[in-house]
Chain A
């Protein structure tokens, strides 16, 4: 039977998705403005070998906040929205058990390889999947982990004395700062890949993530046998029972 217009994402998921999109953008851009005030990780009088671009600022056009003080105000205000929103989302995942759709499990490595082979054109048929394919599971669960790392390292460099035990657990202020920066970069790369893949493979996800509407039989990448930029049009569905 042809299922029509199921709600793919719960309203909590849709709202927290777009709130984190905005909050992460503001956090990353204001964070880069703060970074530019001293774009190096080494404590004064020491050297730091973990960052080849030590001392190099990022272009101003990637920053937000206008100046160091302004960026700090944005960063330290938006962080509460990001954390509250993240907790709401994670709470939803936990209590509804939906984390199972995201967490990689035994066999996911195998599935991810099959998925990659399909994307590369080595196999003809889209592998079977649940709500998300194995590559998505790895990407989304890694984003959650990186988000947690950015928040915890961020707290460690915000309060390196009041919460000195946390900063010390990360190897000190400068390493906490490096982890904060690096987890942001990792998250940024995954966000860019995610956005590109939405447009290249599943543009219908935009509607699913906004109004919630989705018709798996017509739109799902599996039904369309879609790989990046291939088979974007809805699948033909036999009408009638």
Chain B
């Protein structure tokens, strides 16, 4: 009881003193700043944070990108551990209203154009791609949302496709374009040349179905899911980066794993 009365008396005195002097004493200041911090935390709930922090966040993103590029070794293979393939539980995804399907009758035979800052641009027919040396790899797909799904992807290593067209010396980026309502994502050429980056034609031993990006998609475990363009039509080698569908909507452009 005496304790309680003591504290109340002290509080009264502090208020009285503050009123008399017109200045906040240290205790009152502490109390008010505690309230202030509490209010700040409450108002931060579910918010995007102060606008003024944006340039600092952008700076951090740029520094992170440098660090990530440095971390990406020449031949770092993706580990999958003991995870079993997702099979039909592998999520499907596209941005069009309905699943994009290439209709030969409307658009002519599908072909993959590889062009831009290269010495010999080329367009590959589907059967020309299947005739190339293919590889199969069991790798995880890392979604930006946090889930992963493992699949056996079969395709042509991107480095062998790019070797055919011979990128120029100033080629630093590669844009992967699709027929899915303009979806595209550009990559740094080092990631595109990573041995596990492929133009994928089959998943789990079957030709890609429309839900999984038929007839061809980009896949590599070293980039987050949204960087791996599906419904691929064009690979454009460039001296500068060209953003991307999700990169232009606020996700990191680099999107490395």
Contact with A along B30-55 (1 / 0, CB 8 A): 10000000000100111111000000
Q: Tell me how far the C-beta of A20 lies from the nearest C-beta in chain B, rounded to whole angstroms.
A: 15
State whether the Cβ of A63 lies closer than 8 Å to any Cβ in chain B.
Answer: yes
CB distance from B146 to the nearest CB of A (A): 4
Q: Which of A1-42 contact B (CB under 8 A)?
A: 25, 29, 34-35, 37-38, 40
Q: List A contacts of B89 (CB < 8 A).
A: 44-45
Complex-state Cα separation, A231 to B4, whole angstroms: 9
The stretch among B125-133, B170-178, B248-256 that forms the contact with chain A is B248-256
Q: A172 near B: Cβ within 8 Å?
A: yes
Q: Which residues of A contact B76 (CB under 8 A)?
A: 161-162, 164
B79 CB-CB contact with A under 8 Å: yes
CA distance A74 to B63 in the complex (A): 14
The verdict on A73 contacting chain B, using a C-beta distance below 8 Å, is yes
Most buried by A among B3, B148, B149, B221: B148
B7 within 8 A of A: yes
Secondary structure at the B interface, as helix, strand, loop or mixed, is loop
Chain A, interface size category, equals 35 or more
Residue from the list A45, A74, A80 in contact with B84, Cβ < 8 A: A45
Q: List 6 A-B contacts (CB under 8 A).
A: A43-B84, A64-B44, A64-B46, A66-B46, A68-B144, A77-B57
Q: Is A174 a contact of B83 with CB atoms below 8 Å? A: yes
Q: What are the residues of chain A within 8 A of B168 when measuring CB–CB? A: none
- Given A43-B86, A44-B86, A44-B147, A70 contacting B91 (CB threshold 8 A): no
Contact assessment for A161 and B3 in the assembled complex, using a CB-CB cutoff below 8 Å: no
Known contacts A70-B250, A231-B3; A43 and B150 CB within 8 A of each other: yes
A161 touches B78 (CB 8 A): yes
Size category, B interface: 35 or more
CB of B79 within 8 A of CB of A66, answer no
Q: Which chain A residue has the least Cβ–Cβ distance from B257?
A: A161
The answer to whether B108 has its CB under 8 Å from any CB of chain A is: no
In angstroms, Cα B41 to Cα A141, docked, is: 26
Q: Binary interface profile of B, 53-73, with partner A (CB < 8 Å = 1, else 0)? A: 000110111011000100111
Taking the closest CB of chain B, its distance from the CB of A31, in whole angstroms, is: 10
* CA–CA, A160 and B143, complex, Å: 12
Contact of A70 among B48, B84, B148 (CB under 8 A): B48
Question: Are the CB atoms of A162 and B146 closer together than 8 Å?
Answer: no
Name the residue of chain A whose CB is nearest to the CB of B250: A69
Query: Contact mask A179-215 → B, CB, 8 Å, 1/0?
Result: 0000000000000000000000000001100100000
